[in-house]
Structure 1
């Protein structure tokens, strides 16, 4: 893998982790105490999980389409907005996970958090980071052209690398959707 990809992957990972830490920080300042968070009613969430686990073939489709949309927004949206949408989406997805982690900490349920996130999250988070790398690739190539460091804006090789990253992220999203629908939702009925 070329050095540029490693930089884009690392940058995407750092943005995601920054969002995660921001989510923890926002949650900590939002809830004055763990006791306040413990009074939160999660019954509506449990009802949604129960409904989703009934039709798992629809759930796979729903999860895949929803997460593929995010991956495409990260990659194609980033290419069209000079990395702006990629930046915002990586940070906001990290924030969402940070908020959930804080709630798990507050509820003394970190084990359940990892049990419900890790099976599909390994693939889904990796896919988002790879899609983020793709979203930064095209703006980087345009910038290199503008600075006179390249003769062409986008070479055939640049396009192939971009679509390879997008393709890998979509495959990982599909794997994550299957695992989330078949494994995570089943685990949730036993853990929650």
Structure 2
């Protein structure tokens, strides 16, 4: 299944017809991140200050790196799979998932310096965020096909499910980095404990 998923993922990325959905996902994610950032600076500052504490590593990061990586992987891949098939019936759910994830990233980034953000999010984010964008693009595409190309929808659903499966190795790699490399960088580059 993984091999077929990786092949379909490559195909998804190289088909020009998918670029509008990828760009839509990216654009929506960026806009929601900006929205989260500005809400974090103003209206949601008390909430942001409760969940984001520079200088302190999240206590969850102190559990076994192996179990943490598995937990992160299954959580992120679940979100990726849900995002991939969320467009069944309507593109509203992929839009909501995009908004929530971008908004949270923006909220967190409003509390950190650019350097802190790069250290805290960068190592695993360079893999995890594009993977999420691709999953969301597949969800938007399914919503579009369900609404406007219903005859082609069943075949596209199969393709998008394979894309979601093909994203598993990327989410796994990002999770391993998030559980091992990111905490080490946070300790050594930022001096957080």
TM-score between the two structures when normalised by the length of structure 2:
0.79
User: Aligned to 1:65, which of 67, 74, 82?
Assistant: 74
Q: Does residue 106 of structure 2 align to residue 93 of structure 1?
A: no
User: Aligned to 2:53, which of 37, 42, 62?
Assistant: 42
Q: Deviations over 1:131-180 (max 9, x none)?
A: 0011112221222235xxxxx24253x24531342133322211110111
How many matched pairs? 175
CA contact (8 A) 2:83 2:135 kept: yes
Name 1:130's counterpart in structure 2. Answer: 134
User: Aligned to 1:20, which of 19, 33, 37?
Assistant: 33
CA contact (8 A) 2:90 2:147 kept: no
Unaligned segments of structure 1, at least 5 residues? 147-151
For residues 41 and 134 of structure 1, the distance between their equivalents in structure 2, rounded to whole angstroms, comes to 31
Name 1:82's counterpart in structure 2. Answer: 90
Q: Deviations over 1:87-135 (max 9, x none)?
A: 011111111111111101xxxx321210121110011101110000111
Name 2:111's counterpart in structure 1. Answer: 103
Q: Larger Cα Rg: Structure 1 or Structure 2?
A: 1
Name 1:154's counterpart in structure 2. Answer: 153
For residues 174 and 70 of structure 1, the distance between their equivalents in structure 2, rounded to whole angstroms, comes to 13
For residues 174 and 50 of structure 2, the distance between their equivalents in structure 1, rounded to whole angstroms, comes to 31
CA contact (8 A) 1:24 1:102 kept: yes
CA contact (8 A) 2:123 2:182 kept: yes
Name the CA shift for 1:3/1:153 in 2 (closer, same or farther; >3 Å).
same
CA contact (8 A) 1:130 1:168 kept: no
TM-score between the two structures when normalised by the length of structure 1:
0.80
CA contact (8 A) 2:25 2:98 kept: yes
For residues 40 and 128 of structure 1, the distance between their equivalents in structure 2, rounded to whole angstroms, comes to 22
CA contact (8 A) 2:33 2:102 kept: yes
CA contact (8 A) 2:22 2:134 kept: yes
Name the CA shift for 1:155/1:20 in 2 (closer, same or farther; >3 Å).
same
Q: Does residue 116 of structure 2 align to residue 112 of structure 1?
A: yes
Where do 4+ consecutive residues of structure 1 move more than 6 Å? 37-41
TM-fit CA distance, 1:9: 0.5
For residues 100 and 21 of structure 2, the distance between their equivalents in structure 1, rounded to whole angstroms, comes to 18
User: Aligned to 1:121, which of 100, 125, 135?
Assistant: 125
